[in-house]
Structure formats: structure tokens, C-alpha cells
Structure 1
């Protein structure tokens, strides 16, 4: 079992500034994962990390539609093997722009959520479209990543 935990220190937060949301993925078993890559947030490649922010049940921030399918390579070094209970920040090499740039413009209870989707139809949907090397080795590792679609529990942040 894998879960995604979102946290934000302190609070309540003032309107007009981004909320410092951190992400942690934790597994109850030994698992191989890949963090956020270019194209992960907009859904143009796997793994997909899809953040949203809602206010009153209405989505107020989400990734834009994919613009450029020319994403960089998936490298052997992008794979991380987690031990049971070991937390992993998938945003260590690439941040989630939706969380980084969203600025709540008024008071309220904002719900931050993140969905991780690894349910690709083919392993090739993980590969980069520019500069991809080590294809056989990378595809072997992609096949070891568990196929799942999970969403974090909402992180409710109060904006004043």
C-alpha cells in the first residue's frame, strides 16, 4: 500500500501568498517509484502527479493542458527504491508548479490534493521524447513500478 501525505507548516496563512505545501510518498512495502518529471504534472507522460486546489468544492487551481510533448528523458537515476515506511519527496528534482504558484486571493478553507497515476497502457508512455537513452534498462525498471492511481487525503489550509 502506498499513500501520499501533504503537509503545510503553521497556518493560518495570509491571502496573496503561495502556501508552502510539502509532499511525501510512503509505502508499507519495498517499492520502486519515480518522482515528478517534466510532463508529469500536465499529464503528458507517466508517472502523472496531478495537483489540485479547491475552494468550496470548486477547483480553483490545477495543471494546465499539455503544451509541448517534447519531454526530457527518463533516466535510471530517476528511479527510487523505498523501504517500508521510508518517506520520499517526489518533488526533489522538479516541483509541482500548481502548488508552488497558486496564490489564494481571499479567505476560506482551501483543499490541496495530489493524485499519483502510474497506470500507463504501455511502459513506453514513461519515456522521454528527446534524448532518451538506455531504453531497454529503463523499460525494465518501469515494469517494476506498481500500477496504481491514488489520491492524497485533502490538506485543508485556512486562508485569512
Structure 2
């Protein structure tokens, strides 16, 4: 990326939580919400809230903003944290720890979303171990399939 006046540089994979009035918030900018392991690396037992901000204008009137929202909902479920999502013209919403949208604004309309959000602490299984159990299970199934295949010969 070499444009005049460009000062972008890659940040650290693991970032400290934001501290907002004593509350710990794990932020994800735009497409970072699509990477479960990266967000997981930035959530700890003291993290109370997930926050994602995004410019969804480039999606236009496609299903992109809705899919982006669904991806964000999965992070709330996996990490067991409420999620605040703010976009310029996509889906601005509040998601509970079960992935349910509790409050939202209509797409393509300017507005302010206000709600009380219960904060959560602690760690889910995914927050502790990530995708490791799933990868181990897939490996065991693959090994079992290879053994079965060899036995049938």
C-alpha cells in the first residue's frame, strides 16, 4: 500500500481492550469481525462488551450488510458477550449473548440507537479453546475414515 500521504501500518494481532468509563470493550473494525480467532485473542475474562464499527457502503443494496451482521452475531454467541454494531448504512444493532438482535436501526437511515445493555464477564468454551476441539474432532474423523478405508481393502 504505497499512496501519497499514506501512513497505514499493520497493528499488533493482539490489542488491549478499550476502557470506556471503567468498562472493558473488545473492538473489531469492519471485516475484523469475520475472523473468530483474532477477536478471540483480544477477549479476556474482564472483557464486558464487543464493539464493531463498519463502513458497509461498498456493499450497496446487496445482501452483504445482512451477511456481515450475521457474522457479527456469531462472534457474540461464540464469545458470550453482547455486541454493539455501528455502520454508516448497513445494519446498526445491539446483539445479546445468544446472538439475538435486541435493538436495531433501519438500513440507509440516519439515526441514534439507545438501549441498556447488560454486561457480561467470564469465558465461554470457545473463548478458552477456540476452534481446537473442532479441529481435533475433524482429525479423528479423518483418521477413522482412513483406517476404515484401509480395512476394506
TM-score by length of 2: 0.24
Which has the higher Rg, Structure 1 or Structure 2? Answer: 2
Q: Which of the pair has the greater relative contact order for Cα pairs under 8 Å at 6+ separation? A: 1
Structure with the larger helix share: 2
